[in-house]
Homo-oligomer: A and B are copies of this chain.
Protein backbone atom coordinates (compact mmCIF):
# COMPACT_ATOMS: atom_id res chain seq x y z
CA UNK A 1 0.00 0.00 0.00
CA UNK A 2 1.16 3.52 -0.91
CA UNK A 3 0.61 6.40 1.52
CA UNK A 4 -0.09 9.96 0.46
CA UNK A 5 0.99 11.36 -2.84
CA UNK A 6 3.64 9.86 -5.08
CA UNK A 7 6.44 12.09 -6.34
CA UNK A 8 8.66 11.15 -9.29
CA UNK A 9 11.81 12.93 -10.47
CA UNK A 10 14.74 12.33 -12.81
CA UNK A 11 18.41 13.02 -12.00
CA UNK A 12 21.79 12.92 -13.76
CA UNK A 13 22.52 12.45 -17.44
CA UNK A 14 19.56 11.66 -19.70
CA UNK A 15 19.17 8.38 -21.59
CA UNK A 16 17.14 7.27 -24.61
CA UNK A 17 14.64 5.38 -22.44
CA UNK A 18 14.52 7.32 -19.16
CA UNK A 19 10.95 8.43 -19.90
CA UNK A 20 9.80 4.83 -20.21
CA UNK A 21 10.65 4.49 -16.51
CA UNK A 22 8.83 7.72 -15.71
CA UNK A 23 5.72 6.59 -17.54
CA UNK A 24 5.89 3.10 -16.01
CA UNK A 25 6.01 4.64 -12.53
CA UNK A 26 3.13 7.01 -13.32
CA UNK A 27 0.89 4.18 -14.57
CA UNK A 28 1.72 1.99 -11.56
CA UNK A 29 1.21 4.87 -9.10
CA UNK A 30 -2.19 5.68 -10.58
CA UNK A 31 -3.20 2.05 -10.03
CA UNK A 32 -1.61 1.66 -6.57
CA UNK A 33 -3.93 1.36 -3.55
CA UNK A 34 -3.74 4.32 -1.21
CA UNK A 35 -2.12 6.65 -3.68
CA UNK A 36 -3.48 10.20 -3.29
CA UNK A 37 -2.04 11.48 -6.55
CA UNK A 38 1.09 11.50 -8.74
CA UNK A 39 3.33 14.51 -9.02
CA UNK A 40 6.49 15.05 -11.02
CA UNK A 41 9.26 17.40 -9.87
CA UNK A 42 11.04 19.41 -12.56
CA UNK A 43 14.84 19.15 -12.58
CA UNK A 44 15.18 16.53 -9.86
CA UNK A 45 15.63 17.47 -6.22
CA UNK A 46 16.01 21.12 -7.20
CA UNK A 47 12.42 21.09 -8.41
CA UNK A 48 11.28 19.83 -5.02
CA UNK A 49 12.95 22.71 -3.19
CA UNK A 50 11.42 25.12 -5.70
CA UNK A 51 7.97 23.46 -5.45
CA UNK A 52 8.19 23.05 -9.17
CA UNK A 53 5.62 20.25 -9.58
CA UNK A 54 3.47 18.94 -12.40
CA UNK A 55 0.29 16.93 -11.77
CA UNK A 56 1.17 13.77 -13.69
CA UNK A 57 -2.15 12.19 -12.70
CA UNK A 58 -3.77 14.59 -15.13
CA UNK A 59 -1.44 13.79 -18.02
CA UNK A 60 -3.43 12.18 -20.88
CA UNK A 61 -2.44 8.53 -21.27
CA UNK A 62 -1.93 8.84 -25.03
CA UNK A 63 0.56 11.65 -24.47
CA UNK A 64 2.33 9.69 -21.74
CA UNK A 65 2.90 6.92 -24.28
CA UNK A 66 4.39 9.44 -26.71
CA UNK A 67 6.60 10.97 -24.01
CA UNK A 68 7.77 7.46 -23.08
CA UNK A 69 9.23 7.09 -26.58
CA UNK A 70 11.00 10.48 -26.40
CA UNK A 71 14.65 10.42 -25.24
CA UNK A 72 16.00 12.60 -22.39
CA UNK A 73 14.40 13.36 -19.02
CA UNK A 74 10.96 14.84 -19.81
CA UNK A 75 10.88 16.26 -16.26
CA UNK A 76 14.33 17.82 -16.67
CA UNK A 77 17.33 16.83 -14.61
CA UNK A 78 19.90 18.14 -12.15
CA UNK A 79 23.37 17.38 -10.82
CA UNK A 80 22.58 18.85 -7.37
CA UNK A 81 23.66 16.77 -4.38
CA UNK A 82 21.64 17.76 -1.29
CA UNK A 83 23.34 18.48 2.02
CA UNK A 84 21.47 18.58 5.35
CA UNK A 85 20.09 22.08 4.78
CA UNK A 86 18.96 21.12 1.26
CA UNK A 87 17.27 18.00 2.72
CA UNK A 88 15.43 20.10 5.30
CA UNK A 89 14.11 22.31 2.53
CA UNK A 90 12.98 19.17 0.65
CA UNK A 91 11.11 17.81 3.71
CA UNK A 92 9.31 21.08 4.24
CA UNK A 93 7.96 20.94 0.69
CA UNK A 94 7.11 17.22 0.77
CA UNK A 95 5.19 17.68 4.03
CA UNK A 96 3.30 20.69 2.70
CA UNK A 97 2.17 18.68 -0.35
CA UNK A 98 1.43 15.44 1.51
CA UNK A 99 3.99 13.40 -0.37
CA UNK A 100 4.61 9.93 1.08
CA UNK A 101 6.72 8.26 -1.61
CA UNK A 102 9.55 9.57 -3.70
CA UNK A 103 10.80 7.71 -6.78
CA UNK A 104 14.08 9.01 -8.15
CA UNK A 105 15.15 7.82 -11.61
CA UNK A 106 18.93 8.12 -11.88
CA UNK A 107 22.42 6.66 -11.68
CA UNK A 108 24.83 6.22 -8.79
CA UNK A 109 24.93 9.91 -7.90
CA UNK A 110 21.13 10.14 -7.87
CA UNK A 111 20.82 6.96 -5.78
CA UNK A 112 23.32 8.44 -3.35
CA UNK A 113 21.21 11.60 -3.16
CA UNK A 114 18.24 9.38 -2.37
CA UNK A 115 20.21 7.50 0.31
CA UNK A 116 21.15 10.77 2.03
CA UNK A 117 17.55 11.96 1.77
CA UNK A 118 16.22 8.67 3.20
CA UNK A 119 18.70 8.88 6.11
CA UNK A 120 17.73 12.44 6.88
CA UNK A 121 14.02 11.57 6.62
CA UNK A 122 14.51 8.78 9.13
CA UNK A 123 16.40 11.10 11.50
CA UNK A 124 13.65 13.69 11.11
CA UNK A 125 11.03 10.96 11.72
CA UNK A 126 9.33 11.90 8.49
CA UNK A 127 7.60 8.86 6.95
CA UNK A 128 8.98 8.97 3.42
CA UNK A 129 9.28 5.96 1.14
CA UNK A 130 12.38 6.42 -1.08
CA UNK A 131 12.87 4.14 -4.08
CA UNK A 132 15.60 4.44 -6.67
CA UNK A 133 14.80 3.57 -10.30
CA UNK A 134 18.02 2.76 -12.16
CA UNK A 135 19.21 4.41 -15.37
CA UNK A 136 22.67 5.16 -16.73
CA UNK A 137 24.35 4.72 -20.08
CA UNK A 138 27.55 3.99 -18.11
CA UNK A 139 26.11 0.65 -16.95
CA UNK A 140 28.06 1.09 -13.72
CA UNK A 141 25.45 0.40 -10.99
CA UNK A 142 26.37 -2.34 -8.50
CA UNK A 143 24.19 -5.46 -8.18
CA UNK A 144 22.58 -4.86 -11.60
CA UNK A 145 23.26 -7.14 -14.56
CA UNK A 146 22.89 -3.99 -16.64
CA UNK A 147 21.10 -0.66 -16.36
CA UNK A 148 18.31 0.88 -18.45
CA UNK A 149 19.78 3.33 -20.96
CA UNK A 150 22.94 1.35 -21.49
CA UNK A 151 21.60 -1.02 -24.17
CA UNK A 152 20.36 1.87 -26.35
CA UNK A 153 23.61 3.82 -25.93
CA UNK A 154 25.53 0.60 -26.67
CA UNK A 155 23.46 0.23 -29.84
CA UNK A 156 24.44 3.77 -30.83
CA UNK A 157 28.14 3.13 -30.17
CA UNK A 158 28.09 -0.21 -32.03
CA UNK A 159 26.30 1.40 -35.02
CA UNK A 160 28.70 4.34 -34.99
CA UNK A 161 31.78 2.09 -35.00
CA UNK A 162 30.28 -0.21 -37.65
CA UNK A 163 29.89 2.89 -39.85
CA UNK A 164 33.30 4.35 -38.90
CA UNK A 165 34.88 1.01 -39.78
CA UNK A 166 33.27 1.06 -43.24
CA UNK A 167 34.36 4.67 -43.72
CA UNK A 168 37.91 3.81 -42.63
CA UNK A 169 37.94 0.84 -44.99
CA UNK A 170 36.87 3.11 -47.88
CA UNK A 171 39.47 5.78 -47.08
CA UNK A 172 42.16 4.00 -45.06
CA UNK A 173 43.86 5.76 -42.16
CA UNK A 174 43.68 5.79 -38.38
CA UNK A 175 40.34 6.61 -36.75
CA UNK A 176 39.97 7.29 -33.03
CA UNK A 177 36.45 7.38 -31.55
CA UNK A 178 36.16 8.61 -27.96
CA UNK A 179 33.23 7.15 -26.00
CA UNK A 180 31.61 8.23 -22.71
CA UNK A 181 32.35 6.36 -19.48
CA UNK A 182 34.28 7.84 -16.60
CA UNK A 183 35.25 4.72 -14.66
CA UNK A 184 33.47 1.86 -16.42
CA UNK A 185 34.32 0.74 -19.95
CA UNK A 186 31.01 -0.98 -20.78
CA UNK A 187 29.95 1.64 -23.32
CA UNK A 188 33.35 1.82 -25.02
CA UNK A 189 33.44 -1.98 -25.13
CA UNK A 190 30.14 -1.91 -27.07
CA UNK A 191 32.19 -0.71 -30.06
CA UNK A 192 33.18 -4.36 -30.51
CA UNK A 193 29.61 -5.21 -31.49
CA UNK A 194 30.08 -3.11 -34.63
CA UNK A 195 32.41 -5.79 -36.03
CA UNK A 196 31.26 -8.45 -38.46
CA UNK A 197 34.19 -9.57 -40.66
CA UNK A 198 37.48 -10.76 -39.08
CA UNK A 199 39.44 -7.68 -40.17
CA UNK A 200 36.75 -5.19 -39.08
CA UNK A 201 37.53 -2.48 -36.56
CA UNK A 202 37.69 -1.46 -33.82
CA UNK A 203 41.12 -3.06 -33.93
CA UNK A 204 42.00 -1.62 -30.54
CA UNK A 205 39.80 -0.83 -27.52
CA UNK A 206 41.06 1.20 -24.55
CA UNK A 207 39.04 0.90 -21.34
CA UNK A 208 39.35 2.75 -18.03
CA UNK A 209 39.69 -0.64 -16.32
CA UNK A 210 43.27 -0.82 -17.64
CA UNK A 211 46.09 1.72 -17.23
CA UNK A 212 46.90 3.69 -20.36
CA UNK A 213 50.49 4.33 -21.44
CA UNK A 214 51.18 6.46 -24.50
CA UNK A 215 54.21 4.49 -25.73
CA UNK A 216 52.32 1.22 -25.59
CA UNK A 217 49.36 2.86 -27.35
CA UNK A 218 51.58 4.07 -30.19
CA UNK A 219 53.16 0.62 -30.56
CA UNK A 220 49.69 -0.99 -30.63
CA UNK A 221 48.53 1.43 -33.34
CA UNK A 222 51.66 0.87 -35.41
CA UNK A 223 51.22 -2.93 -35.19
CA UNK A 224 47.52 -2.76 -36.20
CA UNK A 225 48.40 -0.41 -39.06
CA UNK A 226 51.12 -2.75 -40.32
CA UNK A 227 48.67 -5.64 -40.22
CA UNK A 228 45.54 -4.05 -41.71
CA UNK A 229 46.79 -0.97 -43.56
CA UNK A 230 44.30 0.96 -41.43
CA UNK A 231 43.24 1.14 -37.80
CA UNK A 232 40.01 1.92 -35.96
CA UNK A 233 40.35 2.63 -32.24
CA UNK A 234 37.71 2.89 -29.51
CA UNK A 235 38.82 4.92 -26.50
CA UNK A 236 37.00 5.56 -23.25
CA UNK A 237 37.00 9.22 -22.17
CA UNK A 238 38.03 7.90 -18.74
CA UNK A 239 41.38 6.33 -19.71
CA UNK A 240 44.05 7.16 -17.13
CA UNK A 241 47.71 6.58 -16.47
CA UNK A 242 49.12 4.16 -13.88
CA UNK A 243 48.70 6.75 -11.11
CA UNK A 244 44.97 7.01 -11.91
CA UNK A 245 45.25 10.49 -13.44
CA UNK A 246 42.81 10.75 -16.38
CA UNK A 247 44.62 11.39 -19.67
CA UNK A 248 41.94 13.99 -20.50
CA UNK A 249 42.43 15.77 -17.15
CA UNK A 250 46.15 16.26 -17.77
CA UNK A 251 45.01 18.31 -20.76
CA UNK A 252 42.24 20.40 -19.34
CA UNK A 253 43.43 23.95 -18.90
CA UNK A 254 40.48 24.72 -16.69
CA UNK A 255 39.38 21.60 -14.90
CA UNK A 256 35.66 21.83 -14.37
CA UNK A 257 34.06 19.79 -11.59
CA UNK A 258 30.39 19.26 -10.83
CA UNK A 259 28.77 19.09 -7.38
CA UNK A 260 29.62 15.39 -7.12
CA UNK A 261 33.33 16.14 -7.62
CA UNK A 262 33.42 14.69 -11.12
CA UNK A 263 35.86 16.24 -13.58
CA UNK A 264 34.25 17.23 -16.89
CA UNK A 265 35.40 14.78 -19.53
CA UNK A 266 32.61 15.11 -22.10
CA UNK A 267 31.72 18.06 -24.27
CA UNK A 268 35.27 18.55 -25.51
CA UNK A 269 37.30 16.99 -28.32
CA UNK A 270 40.60 17.44 -26.48
CA UNK A 271 41.31 13.76 -25.74
CA UNK A 272 40.72 12.65 -29.35
CA UNK A 273 42.89 15.53 -30.56
CA UNK A 274 45.68 14.60 -28.11
CA UNK A 275 45.68 10.98 -29.27
CA UNK A 276 45.50 11.73 -33.01
CA UNK A 277 48.24 14.37 -32.55
CA UNK A 278 50.48 11.81 -30.84
CA UNK A 279 49.93 9.29 -33.65
CA UNK A 280 50.70 11.91 -36.29
CA UNK A 281 53.84 13.05 -34.47
CA UNK A 282 55.22 9.59 -33.73
CA UNK A 283 54.32 7.40 -36.71
CA UNK A 284 54.60 7.82 -40.49
CA UNK A 285 50.79 7.48 -40.79
CA UNK A 286 49.33 10.50 -42.60
CA UNK A 287 45.54 10.20 -42.44
CA UNK A 288 44.61 10.32 -38.75
CA UNK A 289 41.12 11.35 -37.65
CA UNK A 290 39.47 11.63 -34.25
CA UNK A 291 35.80 11.90 -33.29
CA UNK A 292 34.31 12.40 -29.84
CA UNK A 293 30.84 10.87 -29.78
CA UNK A 294 29.74 13.29 -27.06
CA UNK A 295 26.10 13.80 -26.17
CA UNK A 296 24.81 12.03 -29.30
CA UNK A 297 25.37 8.62 -27.69
CA UNK A 298 22.84 9.30 -24.94
CA UNK A 299 20.29 11.52 -26.68
CA UNK A 300 20.24 10.74 -30.44
CA UNK A 301 16.64 10.62 -31.61
CA UNK A 302 15.79 7.25 -33.11
CA UNK A 303 18.45 4.86 -31.78
CA UNK A 304 16.66 2.75 -29.19
CA UNK A 305 16.98 -0.90 -28.22
CA UNK A 306 13.50 -2.44 -27.93
CA UNK A 307 14.78 -4.63 -25.07
CA UNK A 308 15.98 -1.50 -23.28
CA UNK A 309 12.70 0.35 -23.80
CA UNK A 310 10.74 -2.60 -22.41
CA UNK A 311 12.95 -3.05 -19.35
CA UNK A 312 13.06 0.68 -18.61
CA UNK A 313 9.26 0.63 -18.49
CA UNK A 314 9.27 -2.38 -16.18
CA UNK A 315 11.71 -0.91 -13.61
CA UNK A 316 9.39 2.10 -13.30
CA UNK A 317 6.36 -0.12 -12.74
CA UNK A 318 8.22 -2.47 -10.38
CA UNK A 319 9.54 0.41 -8.24
CA UNK A 320 5.99 1.42 -7.33
CA UNK A 321 4.83 -2.19 -6.93
CA UNK A 322 7.80 -3.02 -4.66
CA UNK A 323 7.17 0.10 -2.56
CA UNK A 324 3.50 -0.84 -2.18
CA UNK A 325 4.23 -4.49 -1.41
CA UNK A 326 7.42 -4.40 0.70
CA UNK A 327 6.97 -1.07 2.43
CA UNK A 328 10.71 -0.36 2.52
CA UNK A 329 13.21 1.89 0.77
CA UNK A 330 15.50 0.47 -1.84
CA UNK A 331 16.82 0.37 -5.35
CA UNK A 332 15.27 -1.64 -8.18
CA UNK A 333 17.82 -3.88 -9.88
CA UNK A 334 17.86 -5.93 -13.06
CA UNK A 335 19.17 -9.48 -12.90
CA UNK A 336 19.66 -11.95 -15.72
CA UNK A 337 17.86 -15.26 -15.44
CA UNK A 338 20.14 -18.25 -15.86
CA UNK A 339 19.55 -20.17 -19.08
CA UNK A 340 20.26 -20.07 -22.77
CA UNK A 341 17.59 -17.58 -23.74
CA UNK A 342 17.90 -14.03 -22.43
CA UNK A 343 15.40 -13.02 -19.75
CA UNK A 344 15.48 -10.32 -17.09
CA UNK A 345 14.32 -10.45 -13.46
CA UNK A 346 13.67 -7.49 -11.20
CA UNK A 347 14.28 -7.12 -7.47
CA UNK A 348 14.49 -4.50 -4.73
CA UNK A 349 17.81 -4.20 -2.86
CA UNK A 350 18.97 -1.81 -0.12
CA UNK A 351 19.84 1.71 -1.28
CA UNK A 352 23.27 1.39 0.31
CA UNK A 353 24.08 -1.56 -1.98
CA UNK A 354 23.90 0.71 -5.03
CA UNK A 355 24.23 4.32 -3.84
CA UNK A 356 27.44 6.09 -4.79
CA UNK A 357 29.18 2.86 -5.75
CA UNK A 358 30.64 2.09 -9.15
CA UNK A 359 30.71 -1.21 -10.97
CA UNK A 360 33.39 -1.69 -13.61
CA UNK A 361 33.91 -4.29 -16.34
CA UNK A 362 34.67 -7.71 -14.85
CA UNK A 363 38.04 -9.16 -15.87
CA UNK A 364 36.25 -11.92 -17.78
CA UNK A 365 34.98 -9.31 -20.26
CA UNK A 366 38.44 -7.92 -21.06
CA UNK A 367 40.87 -9.72 -23.39
CA UNK A 368 44.29 -10.65 -22.06
CA UNK A 369 45.85 -8.06 -24.41
CA UNK A 370 43.94 -5.36 -22.53
CA UNK A 371 42.90 -3.81 -25.88
CA UNK A 372 39.91 -5.97 -26.76
CA UNK A 373 36.86 -7.61 -25.25
CA UNK A 374 36.13 -11.32 -24.86
CA UNK A 375 33.44 -13.57 -26.29
CA UNK A 376 31.86 -13.53 -22.84
CA UNK A 377 31.29 -9.78 -23.23
CA UNK A 378 29.82 -10.30 -26.68
CA UNK A 379 27.42 -12.89 -25.25
CA UNK A 380 26.54 -10.49 -22.45
CA UNK A 381 25.76 -7.47 -24.64
CA UNK A 382 24.26 -9.00 -27.80
CA UNK A 383 20.80 -9.84 -26.34
CA UNK A 384 20.51 -6.29 -24.96
CA UNK A 385 21.01 -4.10 -28.04
CA UNK A 386 17.66 -5.13 -29.48
CA UNK A 387 16.19 -6.26 -32.77
CA UNK A 388 16.79 -4.96 -36.28
CA UNK A 389 20.45 -4.01 -35.89
CA UNK A 390 21.48 -3.19 -39.46
CA UNK A 391 24.21 -5.46 -40.82
CA UNK A 392 26.94 -4.42 -43.26
CA UNK A 393 27.80 -6.52 -46.33
CA UNK A 394 30.80 -6.64 -48.65
CA UNK A 395 31.22 -7.37 -52.33
CA UNK A 396 32.21 -10.98 -52.92
CA UNK A 397 32.77 -11.26 -56.70
CA UNK A 398 36.14 -12.53 -57.98
CA UNK A 399 39.03 -10.19 -58.75
CA UNK A 400 39.89 -9.57 -62.38
CA UNK A 401 43.26 -10.98 -63.47
CA UNK A 402 45.84 -8.26 -64.08
CA UNK A 403 46.99 -7.84 -67.66
CA UNK A 404 49.69 -5.16 -67.52
CA UNK A 405 51.01 -5.92 -64.07
CA UNK A 406 51.20 -9.67 -64.43
CA UNK A 407 54.12 -11.03 -62.54
Contact = CB atoms under 8 A, between A and B. Distances in A.
Interface of A: 10, 13-14, 39-40, 50-60, 63, 66-67, 69-79, 92-93, 96-97, 159-160, 162-164, 166-167, 169-171, 175, 194, 254, 266-270, 272-273, 276, 280, 288-296, 298-303, 389-400, 402-405
B267 A67 contact: no
25 contacts: A51-B400, A51-B404, A51-B405, A53-B399, A55-B397, A55-B398, A59-B395, A59-B396, A72-B163, A72-B170, A73-B170, A74-B395, A76-B171, A77-B170, A96-B403, A160-B296, A167-B299, A175-B267, A267-B288, A267-B291, A268-B273, A268-B290, A289-B295, A301-B390, A302-B303
Given A59-B396, A74-B395, A77-B170, A291 B290 contact: no
Contact of A289 (B163, B170, B267): B267
Nearest to A254: B280
A243 to B, nearest CB: 25
Nearest to A175: B295
B276 A273 contact: no
Contact of A290 (B67, B77, B267, B296): B267
A50 to B, nearest CB: 7
Given A92-B404, A396-B59, A294 B295 contact: no
Given A171-B13, A267-B290, A291-B294, A301 B58 contact: no
Contacts of A92: 404
A138 to B, nearest CB: 15
A207 to B, nearest CB: 21
- The complex is assembled from copies of this chain, and their number is 2
A290 B271 CA distance: 13
Contact of A72 (B166, B293, B391, B399): B166
A162 B254 CA distance: 29
A380 to B, nearest CB: 21
Nearest to A18: B170
Nearest to A56: B397
A397 B54 contact: yes
A179 to B, nearest CB: 12
Contacts of A267: 175, 276, 288-291
Contacts of A397: 40, 54-59
A238 to B, nearest CB: 17
Nearest to A53: B400
Given A267-B289, A303-B302, A72 B396 contact: no
A162 B301 CA distance: 6
Contacts of A398: 54-55, 58
Contacts of A79: 171
A164 B167 CA distance: 24
A167 B63 contact: no
A1 to B, nearest CB: 23
Contacts of A71: 163, 166-167, 392
Nearest to A272: B269
Contacts of A272: 268-269
- Which of A77, A301, A393 gathers most chain B CB within 10 Å? A301
Of the listed residues A71, A166, A194, A293, the one surrounded by the most CB atoms of chain B closer than 10 A to its CB is: A166
Contact of A299 (B163, B266, B296): B163
Nearest to A268: B273
Contacts of A163: 71-72, 295-296, 299-301
